[in-house]
Chain A
Amino acid sequence: MKLIINGKEIVAQPGMTVLEAAKAGGIYIPSLCYHPRTGQAGKCRVCVVEVEGMRGLQVSCNLKVQDGMSVKTKTPQVLAAQKLVVDLLLATGKHDCIACESNGKCELQDAAYYLGIERAPFKYDDIHYAEGDKSAPFVRLDKDKCISCGRCVVACNNQVVNEVLDFAQRGYRTEIVCDDDKPMGDSSCVQCGECSQVCPVGAIVDVKSVGKARSWETKVVRTTCPYCGVGCQLDLHMKGDQIVQVTGTEEGSPNKGKLCVKGRYGYDFIYAEDRLTHPLIKENGEFRKASWDEAINLVASKFKEAIDKYGPDSVAGVSCARSINEDSYNMQKLFRGVFKTNNIDHCART
């Protein structure tokens, strides 16, 4: 089906919302409470548009496309309404971008930029809470940056179903709480970090990432999680050769963006100081550094000696269920094709 947005013809799938169709067609409409995985909320009202034949402004994240629909996203009325909402949000929180972790990837900042807001024209009331909730090891919650969009609450309850986050209070005092308003570190939170991934602003951030890189300095590399057998797809956010953050690949199967505490925060063992860095040979009970040639030749000669003396089945090997397929393939090829034994196994059973 087709619709017109700002005079441009856009092809859309039935069931899509106007916001989704616009996004698919490359047209930006500021929006804050909508996320593809947390769904329509219709709360923040930043995504309003004008639709020909409909009275008043329409909330584009809640409006399904219709064939032939004509939508305008930049009329003075639309922009004024959007600006008012963003002005109010900016005035009611501590939205200082300079050292914010989300600077450059903040949807509130994007909306303000689009609407040309340098500083909201209202009196700022930016400190409600003494300081952020730093009680948990991996996730930090700064309620003064929260815009009450509710994405974290929906994600915690409906995506990962850990059922920790909820809204408390109401109206101007609305806040996000863990369980019955416990510090996150004392709550039932399992630190999966889903809330941080869906937060549009800098209210919920990954502790490990704080101060590591500005968002525009990083590039993203997709890979597969090294822990359990689910095979979650990860986006590694890299600055040089350092991983500064891990997020779940939103479109990736099977996890579609979701991760657990290990997948999201268990990555930095690769940088540990005590990595093995040289081949080592034991002599008189002590390890000494050796060259690759020396170590390889020693292993080859020991295996050859055993095979010559006691037959091929006197050697055996255990492969690794954590390492890549190609490593296991070459190891079994070595045992079968070179050593001539089928004494090759791995911990398939633990």
Chain B
Amino acid sequence: MAGLAASFGSGAMTNSFGEFAKAKLMLCIGTNMTEAHPVASYYVKQAVKNGMTLIVADPRKQRLVKYAELFAQLKVGTDVAFLNGLMNVLITEDLYDKEFVEKNCSDFDKLKETVLKYTPEYAAKICGVEPEIIRKIARKMASVKPGAVCYTLGITEHTCGKNNVMSVANLQMLLGNLGVECGGVNPLRGQNNVQGACDMGALPNVFPGYQKVVDPAAREKFEKAWGVTGLPDKNGLMIPDMMAGLASKKVRAFWIFGENLANSEPDIRHVEHELESAEFIVVNDIFPNETTKFADVIFPAAAWCEDEGTFTSSERRVNRVRKIKDAPGEAKPNWWVFQQVAKAFGQEWPSNSGPEIWDNEVSKLAPALGGIKYVRIEKDGLQWPCPTAEHPGTTFLHKEGKFTHGKGIFKAVEWTPPAEVEDAEYPFVLSTGRRLSQYHTRTQTGRAGMDAIYKRETADMSPADAERLGIKNGEIVLVKSRRGEVRVPARVTEEVPKGMVWMTFHFREGNANWLTNTAYDPETRTAEYKACAVNVVKL
């Protein structure tokens, strides 16, 4: 989100899912939508049936490719080179939207200077896509307006994640595809309430509603609202620094709420070492998992369906979540646990339910959510910004090219390779993701019968590599990186290009995170789950 915030002034999906089905052109880059966001993919496929031009850019020949008019099979981690290549064509062939750029954007000259180097031939050498395909895609995108771009973690989970995002933003500004229906830059959020957790200020630099903690006026506002003094004025730590702090003793007490860090963070051995060295860990969760065993105290939490609240979806829509049953045993809502600890510190918080917290605090303190109250979202949710009680909500942002911080800024970026690249010892690139029937570390889907479809981790590899190594489909292979090794069945598939192994983090056994690299984007601190070097050994 940091990338979009730098380019536009706000970080969220600019447009809405409902627009996908009506779109005329869409570039899907680094998004395996049919498996990770299936319902969004239905709309994309519907649109293709209605004549939309779909362009897919992805290292894998995943299911969406079947519907694509043009497919750019990128090498892992070369998105910036590819996108700069497209922009090179748009500028050198004079195909970009000059009016939009002049009126609504700044720093075009800097962008031009950088992308001029990325001729299709130069870009092709890096990203592995034929120069002619790069030209075709750029020309196509210039000829059909508006066009939308969708991306997911294929763009962000790189050491250059923020640069990738800014390149996508550059492309859409250059094409004038912002502030219009069926256009925009659309990051599909991986989890049901990532957008909401950001909006609520569960981030080290902002209060609810993206009000900066370094801004004295924002601190004063929240001090008044919460009846406290001395709110901290420096940005806090991000997860990787917190984890490192456990080992270095910079962090002495650590609270983990509903995250199975021991399976979901890169380099499990390293993560477990950090959790092991912690002085005090408290966990809120609904199940025992690989992380709860490191806890000193475990609070049993109410799950989905056991509390009244809201989720905010990827399209900025605040939706109701309803209680249908009591939590089992003595399990309690999470908000209640935090309220009780505040009480033990002498603070009495007045809001005693999800609806009270939202209506009386959140929507009063976050201007973009000011018009959203529980009574208004009994049925469909409302999309922020929704500042007043009469406001209908906002389906697409930056209308008429008006960006949150005035002009959209072209942030020219150079391509940089992943932190760890293939070599003689580790000749494969490992990339990771999610499969349709499972979800993350399987704490939920593993208890909902989903193993009936996909019950074991596999190492997906190309027929060419399998043949070269004498590996048969289903045969157990050893996959190893500098950090660890796993033994899993090979899944030989045309989806995966030569030189790549693709895995997920759904299962403890064979989890890709025994192998992944902790290198992260210097600014967003997002780890490079999408690229590290591994070897595959026939056993």
Contacts and interface: CB of A to CB of B under 8 A. Distances in A.
B349 to A, nearest CB: 8
Given A282-B297, A315-B251, A329-B208, A350 B236 contact: no
Interface stretch (A93-101, A107-115, A306-314): A306-314
A131 interface: no
B90 interface: no
B447 A231 contact: no
A346 B259 contact: yes
B192 A224 contact: yes
A315 B322 contact: no
Given A281-B296, A295-B299, A241 B326 contact: yes
Given A275-B331, A326-B335, A260 B526 contact: no
B277 interface: no
A337 B450 contact: no
A268 interface: yes
B68 to A, nearest CB: 14
B202 A332 contact: yes
Interface in B88-126: none
A292 interface: yes
Contacts of B144: none
A328 to B, nearest CB: 4
B334 A268 contact: no
A312 B231 CA distance: 11
B295 interface: yes
A144 B28 CA distance: 42
A224 B319 contact: yes
A343 B246 CA distance: 13
B194 A321 contact: yes
Interface string B280-309: 101011111000100111111101111101
A315 B253 contact: yes
A253 interface: yes
Contacts of A266: 439, 444-445, 448-450
B314 A231 contact: yes
Residue from A261, A323, A332 having most chain B Cβ neighbours under 10 A:
A323
Contacts of A251: 379
A328 B232 contact: no
B339 interface: yes
A212 B368 CA distance: 43
Contacts of B335: 324, 326-327, 329-330
Contacts of B357: 326, 329-330
Contacts of B358: 325-326, 329
A302 B322 CA distance: 34
Given A229-B195, A292-B330, A318 B445 contact: no
A313 B236 contact: yes
Contact of A337 (B48, B226, B250): B226
B127 interface: no
A158 interface: yes
Interface string B490-534: 000000000000000000000000000000000011110100000
A167 interface: no
A135 to B, nearest CB: 11
Considering residues A224, A303, A315, A348, which has the most beta carbons from chain B within 10 angstroms of its beta carbon?
A348
Contacts of B173: none
A323 B237 contact: no
A169 interface: no
A331 to B, nearest CB: 5
B282 A299 contact: yes
Given A329-B200, A337-B347, A238 B309 contact: no
Nearest to B324: A221
B261 interface: yes
B315 interface: yes
Interface stretch (B35-43, B129-137, B414-422, B474-482): B35-43
B532 to A, nearest CB: 15
A267 interface: yes
Contacts, number: 447
Contact of A348 (B39, B197, B318, B345): B197
Contact of A279 (B207, B299, B354, B381): B299
A327 B437 contact: no
A177 to B, nearest CB: 20
A129 interface: no
Contacts of B196: 321, 324-325, 328
A59 to B, nearest CB: 26
B375 to A, nearest CB: 15
B361 interface: yes
Interface in B181-195: 188-195
Among B202, B205, B236, B337, find the residue whose CB has the most chain A CB atoms closer than 10 A: B202
A316 B274 CA distance: 14
B331 A277 contact: yes
Given A275-B287, A345-B236, A230 B40 contact: yes
Contacts of B526: 349-350
Contacts of B252: 306, 309-310, 314-315
Interface of A: 137-138, 158-161, 190-192, 208, 221-233, 236, 238, 241, 243, 251-255, 258-263, 265-270, 272, 274-282, 287, 290, 292, 295-300, 302-306, 309-310, 312-338, 340-350
Interface of B: 1, 16-18, 36-40, 42, 45-46, 48-49, 153, 156-157, 161, 188-205, 207-208, 213, 222, 226, 228, 230-232, 234-239, 242, 245, 250-259, 261, 264-265, 279-280, 282, 284-288, 292, 295-301, 303-307, 309-315, 317-322, 324-326, 328-335, 337-342, 344-345, 347, 349, 354, 357-358, 361-362, 379-381, 436-437, 439, 443-450, 452-453, 524-527, 529
Given A276-B300, A316-B245, A316-B253, 17 more contacts: A137-B452, A160-B42, A161-B45, A223-B304, A223-B321, A238-B324, A275-B329, A280-B300, A303-B253, A315-B254, A316-B237, A325-B310, A327-B257, A327-B333, A338-B228, A343-B237, A346-B202
29 contacts: A159-B42, A159-B46, A222-B320, A224-B192, A228-B191, A228-B439, A229-B188, A236-B324, A261-B437, A265-B449, A266-B449, A275-B286, A276-B286, A276-B331, A299-B297, A316-B253, A318-B257, A323-B301, A323-B334, A324-B335, A327-B335, A330-B335, A331-B257, A333-B349, A334-B338, A340-B231, A348-B197, A349-B156, A349-B525
**A-B pairs with lowest CB-CB distance, top 5:** A277-B329, A231-B313, A324-B309, A320-B258, A342-B236
